[in-house]
Chains A and B, each alone.
Chain A
């Protein structure tokens, strides 16, 4: 699975959009981009995923560049409860076997009041 690079930390003002970048320049055609977050003292929480197209759900939007070498997770109106470590993970569908998430160190997003 392709390696990802994320900034170790970011700040965002409450109510503003948080844009979290992820570089995955070695991604291959059948690899998905997944985003999870981990709030302190909780397990990781699935946010969103995509293959080629931009995606949006009730939590966030995922913007994938046309060459698929990078992506941005957008939290449109960050709140204090969005303070967490955000993980960008690239994973290949394994043809019926279970998918194996490989977590890196992620980005610590601190939402400031």
Chain B
């Protein structure tokens, strides 16, 4: 139990569908992240939210739309995805300390395995 829960664990969708991935953290953290892990490739950072504001968008296509309604919840809205978007999508959280050069650990969920037909 990592304190970060992702749902659903598995998702199969067609290219024209719209679906959402959900992440919830119970650690009291103030920063949340979306990562993508494709087969045989390293994890790639997609989005970062700190204090509910998006602070990083790593050139992610607009068919992926994140939403962070509060510091405990993070969503990834999906629409008109492509087959190459099939991957493991991981959520993480950490405690962001303003004006500090310390680096706090990120805690990950177990991911949503997404398959695009």
Interface string of A1-36 (1 = CB under 8 A from B): 000000000000000000000000000001010100
User: Closest chain A residue to B9 by CB distance?
Assistant: A41
Is B42 in contact with A45, judged by CB distance below 8 angstroms? no
Is A101 in contact with B99, judged by CB distance below 8 angstroms? no
- A residues neighboring B (CB under 8 Å): 30, 32, 34, 41-46, 49, 91-105
Is A91 in contact with B110, judged by CB distance below 8 angstroms? no
Is B48 in contact with A46, judged by CB distance below 8 angstroms? no
Q: Are A44 and B108 CB-contacts (below 8 A) given A30-B101, A96-B100, A97-B50?
A: yes
User: Closest chain A residue to B108 by CB distance?
Assistant: A43
Is B107 in contact with A93, judged by CB distance below 8 angstroms? no
Interchain residue pairs with CB less than 8 A apart (23):
A32-B103, A42-B111, A43-B2, A43-B90, A43-B111, A44-B106, A49-B103, A49-B105, A92-B103, A93-B100, A94-B101, A94-B103, A95-B100, A95-B101, A96-B97, A97-B96, A98-B50, A98-B56, A98-B94, A98-B96, A99-B94, A103-B43, A105-B42
Query: Which residues on the B side are within 8 Å of A93 (C-beta)?
Result: 100-103
Query: Which residues on the B side are within 8 Å of A92 (C-beta)?
Result: 101, 103
Is B99 in contact with A45, judged by CB distance below 8 angstroms? no
A contact face: mostly helix, strand, loop, or mixed: loop
A8 to nearest B CB, angstroms?
Answer: 12
A80 to B92, CA, bound (A): 26
Query: Which residues on the A side are within 8 Å of B97 (C-beta)?
Result: 96
Is A99 in contact with B42, judged by CB distance below 8 angstroms? no
Is B106 in contact with A46, judged by CB distance below 8 angstroms? yes
Query: Which residues on the A side are within 8 Å of B101 (C-beta)?
Result: 30, 92-95
With beta carbons under 8 angstroms apart, the residue of B2, B99, B104 that contacts A99 is: B104
B94 to nearest A CB, angstroms?
Answer: 7
User: Closest chain B residue to A91 by CB distance?
Assistant: B103
A78 to nearest B CB, angstroms?
Answer: 22
A42 to B31, CA, bound (A): 21
Is A103 in contact with B99, judged by CB distance below 8 angstroms? no
Interface string of B5-46 (1 = CB under 8 A from A): 000000000000000000000000001010000000011010
